[in-house]
A = this chain, B = another copy of it.
C-alpha cells in the first residue's frame, strides 16, 4: 500500500507534464486549483504535476496566470505544437466547441497521450471516432467534468456502483435550465432566461441549453458507459423548456409537484428508453428539491436500490475540481475502460409509458371553447382528471390559459389528441404538455 509521499520523496519522481488548451473561466480555475492544492495533488498522483504549456488564442493579451503555477508554462498560441511536444504527457482541452477540439483530441490520442476534457459536445457528437482512436492507440480519454461539473458521476458509474445493469437513471443535467425553472416562480420565461444570462449561466444564444440538447449530450455520455454503446441523438425524444410559464409552476405548487428538465434512461423487458423532457416530479422525489444551477443524478438498480448524487452543475471552480481529479487519475495511470463499440439500435420512447399529463392551452376567451377542447381529448380517449382556467386580471381579453390534468395516457396518444385541435384552438402558442412522473 502506498503512503502519502513527502514532498522531498516526490521531487525525485518524474513529473506529469500537461498542456492546458484554453484559459477561460474553467482553464483559469484549473490553473489556480493546481497551485493552491499542489502538494495534495502530487501526493494523490504519486508524482508532481506540472503545467508545461498553456495555449490561448491570443498570447499577446495579458493573462491571469497564477504566479506560482507548478511547472514553467510556456504561453503560446499553437495547439498542434504543444500537443506534439514530446515532453507533454497529457493535454487538458478546455476550449469548447466541436471543430478545433476534435482535431486536437484526435491528434493527442494518436500520439498516445492522455486527454482530459470538459467538452461534452465534442464527445457526444464525435465520441465514436474519438473513443475508437483512443482504443486503437492505447491512449486514454478522461471526461468527468463534461457531465454535471462537480458531481463525480462518471467515476461512480464506472467504479462506485456494482458492475451490471442499471435499471433507471434520472438526471437533472443542465444547471442553466434548472436555474431558469427556479426563476420562473416569479418571472416570465424571457425574464428568467435574462436572469440566467446575468448570472453568467446562459449563453447569449441559450438554445443549446433550453432546447434540451445539452442535457441529451450528457445523457448520451452516461448511456455510453452504462450501456456500452453509443446513442444516436437523432433517435431520441428531446424536448426543452421553451415556452414554460409561471402558470405551469403554479400548477405544480397546487399539486405538490416540482417542474424539472429530466434526462432519463429506463431499461425493462421491452427494451431501453432514453429521452430528455420537462417533467413534474412529486415533491417527495429525491430530485424535486434540486435548486439553482445544481445538477443531480438518481441511479436505480436492484443490487443497490437508489443512489443520489447532487452538486454544482456549472461554474469555473466546480468544473475545475473534476478536471483536476481526472488529471490525477491520468497521472496515476488509471485508465478508464473504453466503452465497447456499437450503436444502440432499439431505442423506445420514454413517452410511450402512460402517466398523468399536465396540459396548458392558450385559447380564445369565447363560449364553446372548453367543450371543443374536451371533445378533442375525448375523441382520442384522453380522460380529464382536473381542469381549471385561472382568472387573468391583466389579460387583453383575447387569450386565456386552460390547465388540465389528464388521466394516465402516453405522450404519443396525447399528442394525437392535440393534433385534432384546430389551428384556432391551438392558437399562437403551441400547447404545453408535461408528463407527471411518479
Q: Are B310 and A1 in contact (CB under 8 A)?
A: no
Q: Are B321 and A162 in contact (CB under 8 A)?
A: yes
Q: A335 — which chain B residues lie within 8 A by C-beta?
A: 1-2
User: CB-CB contacts of A144-172 with B at 8 A, as 1s and 0s?
Assistant: 00000011100110111111100000000
Asked whether any CB of chain B lies closer than 8 Å to the CB of A336, the reply is yes
Selecting from A36-44, A76-84, A238-246, the interface stretch reads: A36-44
Q: Are A152 and B161 in contact (CB under 8 A)?
A: yes
Distance A321 CA – B300 CA, assembled complex (angstroms):
13
Chain A contacts with B in 296-334, Cβ cutoff 8 A: 296, 302-312, 315, 317-318, 320-321, 324-325, 328-329, 334
Q: Are B312 and A150 in contact (CB under 8 A)?
A: no
How big is chain A's contact interface, by range?
35 or more
Asked whether any CB of chain B lies closer than 8 Å to the CB of A255, the reply is no
Q: Are A156 and B163 in contact (CB under 8 A)?
A: no
Q: Are B1 and A140 in contact (CB under 8 A)?
A: yes
Selecting from A14-22, A131-139, A360-368, A370-378, the interface stretch reads: A131-139
- Nearest chain B CB to A152's CB is how many angstroms away? 3
Q: Are A161 and B334 in contact (CB under 8 A)?
A: no
Distance A434 CA – B1 CA, assembled complex (angstroms):
42
Q: Are B159 and A155 in contact (CB under 8 A)?
A: yes
- Nearest chain B CB to A57's CB is how many angstroms away? 26
Residue of B nearest to A340 (CB): B4
- Nearest chain B CB to A356's CB is how many angstroms away? 23
* With known contacts A3-B340, A155-B159, A304–B329 Cβ distance under 8 A: no
Q: How many copies does the complex hold?
A: 2
User: CB-CB contacts of A117-146 with B at 8 A, as 1s and 0s?
Assistant: 000000000000000001100111100000
Residue of B nearest to A140 (CB): B1
Asked whether any CB of chain B lies closer than 8 Å to the CB of A289, the reply is yes
- Nearest chain B CB to A77's CB is how many angstroms away? 29
Asked whether any CB of chain B lies closer than 8 Å to the CB of A383, the reply is no
Q: A134 — which chain B residues lie within 8 A by C-beta?
A: 1
Asked whether any CB of chain B lies closer than 8 Å to the CB of A338, the reply is yes
List residues of chain A with CB under 8 Å of any chain B CB.
Answer: 1-4, 33, 36-37, 40-41, 43-44, 134-135, 138-141, 150-152, 155-156, 158-164, 228, 284, 286, 289, 296, 302-312, 315, 317-318, 320-321, 324-325, 328-329, 334-340
Could you list 16 further interchain pairs (A-B, Cβ under 8 angstroms) beyond the known A296-B308, A303-B317?
A1-B135, A1-B141, A1-B336, A2-B335, A3-B135, A3-B337, A36-B164, A37-B164, A40-B163, A43-B163, A44-B337, A152-B160, A159-B329, A307-B311, A308-B310, A310-B310
Top 4 A-B residue pairs of the complex, sorted by shortest distance between their CB atoms: A152-B160, A40-B163, A37-B164, A307-B311
List 19 interface pairs A-B (beta carbons < 8 Å), by A numbering.
A1-B134, A1-B139, A1-B335, A1-B338, A2-B337, A4-B228, A4-B339, A33-B303, A37-B162, A44-B163, A44-B337, A150-B305, A155-B159, A160-B325, A303-B320, A304-B312, A305-B312, A305-B318, A308-B308
